[in-house]
Chains A and B, each alone.
Chain A
Amino acid sequence: MEIDADAPHSMGTTIIGVTYNGGVVLGADSRTSTGVYVANRASDKITQLTDNVYVCRSGSAADSQIVSDYVRYFLHQHTIQLGQPATVKVAANLVRLLAYNNKNMLQTGLIVGGWDKYEGGKIYGIPLGGTIIEQPFAIGGSGSSYLYGFFDQAWKEGMTKDEAEQLVVKAVSLAIARDGASGGVVRTVIINSEGVTRNFYPGDKLPLWYEELEPQFSLLDIPSSPGPEPMNI
């Protein structure tokens, strides 16, 4: 099979942003693909815009990077002008102005999430055409198709920080299991009044799904080390 190395880098992707009681948790997979070739299996799709606002990027890698760079620049100037940190709403609005006004040229879906002292933790989804929508949780990327039903069932209001992070990790790993364009590791970023925490979940730390268990054909086969417990919903 011919690999087209000149094909634009796309992030097949699963990205998620979830609010909880006190802040937000952002999560993403780490696969960047060029056609079927995985150009980067450990990319970081959660990008910083300011100390308290981050963005999850999906779609064209180049487009999402350039939008993030511009918004980071504008927000930096805005912060200096205002004399205090920018709000999540302002960051999200700047992202959507770029996404909307350049809709013919860009192909990127973004999730802006962060914490500010006026509104607390907020998530804004900015899909392809440049709409902006404030949501208690948002999902995006090709892997998100497999998560709509999951979130309808598993999402609840007022979760704790740990509950929210576990939900995000579980969701991304479910999507990775089913979406060929998502894979690699799961990265999460937790933002609240205390600051920002980055977490990293490599493949062996992720919950295993039913079909991925080692097949056991004989009772004489003793597995060398007991694998992690399979997950039940």
Chain B
Amino acid sequence: MSSIGTGYDLSVTTFSPDGRVFQIEYAAKAVDNSGTVIGIKCKDGIVMGVEKLIASKMMLPGSNRRIHSVHRHSGMAVAGLAADGRQIVARAKSEATNYESVYGEQIPVKELAERVASYVHLCTLYWWLRPFGCGVILGGYDRDGPQLYMVEPSGISYRYFGAAIGKGRQAAKTEIEKLKLSEMTCRQGVIEVAKIIYGVHDEAKDKAFELEMSWVCDESNRQHQKVPDELLEEAKAAAKAALEEMDAD
């Protein structure tokens, strides 16, 4: 059990004696408890996938979208508190359209990530605002090529080749590190992401889940979109087959 910051964890504007802000760390816990979200940067684009844990059997498949398009060229996959995530996506969309109306060009992904990160960070500065309880993986394709960023509840944002957040992130990161991303196309990447998500899903602890994936690559004409249905089915089938292979050992 991690240390309990008794007394120093009541407000996001209080530091502990060892220099930590506990409220932000607790916000990160909310992200850690959510379904796994993965993003990878292939040589021709970005693939993102989400392990959507199904809360109720009565939910329609395809509802509770976790991956959103921010602009034509970029999308965001959210982990953690869904309502907080909606707010971040709305802000990102607004930043992107505002940038385009002022500067006349699509917002560079780096700039978008910085603006989102600074918005998330903003909410860690005031006692009357709570930090966002969600982490975001932002993938986009601009004139400098495909880029992948991850924004944490603390407001930190880094650029990655591969990133994972949520329950199965440790296992997922290990799997991602094994991949040769610089040689992989997004078509292959979609299959790999599906395999990883099926792989890290814990059948015992969690019930059913739905796989949601999106990509932005040369094949999708540099537009962010859901992975096409046939490719998604192919990926799911490959992932299930890989699981059975593992079980058979």
Contacts and interface: CB of A to CB of B under 8 A. Distances in A.
Same complex origin of A and B: yes
Interface of A: 78, 81-83, 87, 89-90, 92-94, 97, 118, 132
Contacts of A92: 104
Contacts of B104: 89-90, 92-94, 132
A132 B105 CA distance: 14
* B102, B103, B110, B143: residue with the most chain A Cβ atoms closer than 10 Å: B103
B11 to A, nearest CB: 32
A90 B108 contact: no
A81 B143 contact: no
A89 B105 contact: yes
B105 A87 contact: yes
Interface in B81-125: 102-105, 108, 110-111
For the complex of A and B, 6 pairs with smallest distance between CB atoms: A93-B104, A90-B103, A118-B143, A89-B105, A89-B104, A93-B103
Contacts of B108: 82
Given A78-B103, A82-B110, A132-B104, 5 more contacts: A83-B110, A93-B105, A94-B103, A97-B102, A118-B143
A93 B99 CA distance: 11
B117 to A, nearest CB: 13
Nearest to B104: A93
A94 B101 CA distance: 10
A209 B179 CA distance: 71
14 contacts: A78-B103, A83-B110, A87-B105, A89-B104, A89-B105, A90-B105, A93-B102, A93-B104, A93-B105, A94-B102, A94-B104, A97-B102, A118-B143, A132-B104
Nearest to A75: B103
Contacts of A83: 110
A52 to B, nearest CB: 15
Contacts of A94: 102-104
A87 B102 CA distance: 13
* B104, B110, B111, B143: residue with the most chain A Cβ atoms closer than 10 Å: B104
A156 B61 CA distance: 59
A82 B105 contact: no
Interface string B14-39: 00000000000000000000000000
A65 B102 CA distance: 21
Contact of B111 (A82, A93, A97): A82
Contacts of A97: 102
A78 B143 CA distance: 17
Interface string B50-72: 00000000000000000000000
A23 B110 CA distance: 27
A78 B99 CA distance: 11
A90 B104 CA distance: 6
Nearest to A118: B143
Interface in B115-166: 143
